[in-house]
């Protein structure tokens, strides 16, 4: 099979599996909604713009860790062995990455909707904010897919996933918080939006390239 066909087959399998039980998606959804609701109860709407921004991305970060952690850890050993014998490792990592990008981007939008409902929205520039959500969630998904592959190979525990993720996610989260602050009211003067968009895209490409090159080494025992 060519890489492209393997990729589509694996991606289809991911989505079908998810659609069949909807356990993970619903769990993460409730996770996000309840976190936003608890924040609303704690803050009582008296929340200023930088706090809103930081809270949004922190909730996004933790939801993302929980959502992506299962992508390799939840796979049974036997099934992973089956993939190994069947397809190119690059197709596996690309399929998982693409699936997680879709999942997290949707999660980001849902997170925003519930923020909008409960905590209000200081967003003035929706274009910039949406690009921040899409680029940021893509970055989260790409980094965390790779790290969850590492964590799953090391020891199947979620603590390791968090320990390994947080240091490497810092450059991404700093950049995305900066970018989304441009979209909020009272934000800095929009003079350098493009450079942050370019930086975010560059980080995403870098991570994708690293995952593509390095994942085959995680593969064989």
Partner 1 sequence: MKKYWWKIACMALLFYVLLAGTFIPLGPGISLVHPEKVAAGDTLTFYIKGYNSHFDHGTCPPSVWFANAGKSICAQSVQIRNRTELEATIAIPADVKSRNFNLFVNSCYDGTMVLNNAIMLAGDMNNNATPTTGCEVTVATNSAGFHNFPNREILYESIRNLFYHVPMWWTMMLLFTISLIYSVGYLAGFNLGRDRIAGEAARVGIVFGVLGLLTGMVWAKFTWGAWWVSDVRLNGSAATLLAYTAYIVLRNSMNEEQKRARIAAVYNIFAYMLMLVLIIIIPRLTDSLHPGSGGNPGFSSYDLDHNLRLVFYPAAIGWMLLGVWILQIRNRKAKLFPK
Of the two residues 83 and 215, which places its CB atom closer to partner 1 in the complex?
Answer: 215
Alpha-carbon span 55 to 60, nearest angstrom: 8
Q: Is 9 exposed, middle or buried (0-12, 13-18, 19+ CB in 10 A)?
A: middle
User: Is residue 84 close enough to count as binding partner 1 by CB under 8 A?
Assistant: no
Binding residue for partner 1, selected from 7, 64, 104, 143, defined by CB under 8 A: 143
Alpha-carbon span 115 to 107, nearest angstrom: 12
User: Is residue 206 close enough to count as binding partner 1 by CB under 8 A?
Assistant: yes
Least Cβ distance, residue 170 to partner 1 (angstroms) = 4
Of the two residues 175 and 180, which places its CB atom closer to partner 1 in the complex?
Answer: 175
Binding residues for partner 1, rule CB under 8 A, total 33
Q: Is 98 exposed, middle or buried (0-12, 13-18, 19+ CB in 10 A)?
A: buried
User: Is residue 174 close enough to count as binding partner 1 by CB under 8 A?
Assistant: yes
- The residue length of the chain stands at 221
Least Cβ distance, residue 217 to partner 1 (angstroms) = 5
**Which stretch in 35-43, 72-80, 96-104, 150-158 sits in contact with partner 1 by CB under 8 A?**
150-158
Of the two residues 30 and 210, which places its CB atom closer to partner 1 in the complex?
Answer: 210
User: Is residue 51 close enough to count as binding partner 1 by CB under 8 A?
Assistant: no
- Closest to 55 measured CA to CA, from 27, 30, 36, 28: 36
Binding residue for partner 1, selected from 43, 55, 134, 192, defined by CB under 8 A: 192
**For 6, left (φ over 0), alpha (ψ -120 to 50), or beta?**
alpha
Burial string for 65-87 (b: 16+ CB within 10 Å, else e) reads bbbbbbbbbebeeeeeeebeeeb
Binding residue for partner 1, selected from 107, 128, 199, 208, defined by CB under 8 A: 199
User: Is residue 214 close enough to count as binding partner 1 by CB under 8 A?
Assistant: yes
Alpha-carbon span 163 to 209, nearest angstrom: 22
User: Is residue 81 close enough to count as binding partner 1 by CB under 8 A?
Assistant: no
User: Is residue 205 close enough to count as binding partner 1 by CB under 8 A?
Assistant: no
User: Is residue 197 close enough to count as binding partner 1 by CB under 8 A?
Assistant: no
- Closest to 133 measured CA to CA, from 61, 71, 51: 61
Interacting residue ranges for partner 1, rule: CB under 8 A: 143, 146-147, 150, 153-155, 160, 163-164, 166-168, 170-172, 174-175, 178, 192, 195-196, 199, 202-203, 206-207, 210, 214-215, 217-218, 221
């Amino acid at each position: 099979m060519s890489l492209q066909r393997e990729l589509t087959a694996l991606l289809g399998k991911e989505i079908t599996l998810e659609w069949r039980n909807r356990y993970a998606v619903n769990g993460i959804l409730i996770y996000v909604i309840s976190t936003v609701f608890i924040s609303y109860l704690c803050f009582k709407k008296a929340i200023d713009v930088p706090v809103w921004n930081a809270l949004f991305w922190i909730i996004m970060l933790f939801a993302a860790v929980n959502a992506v952690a299962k992508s390799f850890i939840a796979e049974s050993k036997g099934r992973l062995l089956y993939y190994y014998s069947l397809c190119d490792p690059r197709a596996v990592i690309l399929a998982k990455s693409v699936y997680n990008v879709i999942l997290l981007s949707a999660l980001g939008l849902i997170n925003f909707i519930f923020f909008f409902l409960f905590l209000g929205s200081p967003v003035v520039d929706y274009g910039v904010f949406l690009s921040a959500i899409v680029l940021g969630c893509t970055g989260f998904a790409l980094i965390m897919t790779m790290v969850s592959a590492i964590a799953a190979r090391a020891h199947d525990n979620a603590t390791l996933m968090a320990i390994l993720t947080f240091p490497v996610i810092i450059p991404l989260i700093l950049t995305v918080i900066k970018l989304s602050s441009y979209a909020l009211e009272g934000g800095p003067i929009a003079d350098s939006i493009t450079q942050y968009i370019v930086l975010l895209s560059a980080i995403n490409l870098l991570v994708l390239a690293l995952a593509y090159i390095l994942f085959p080494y995680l593969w064989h025992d």
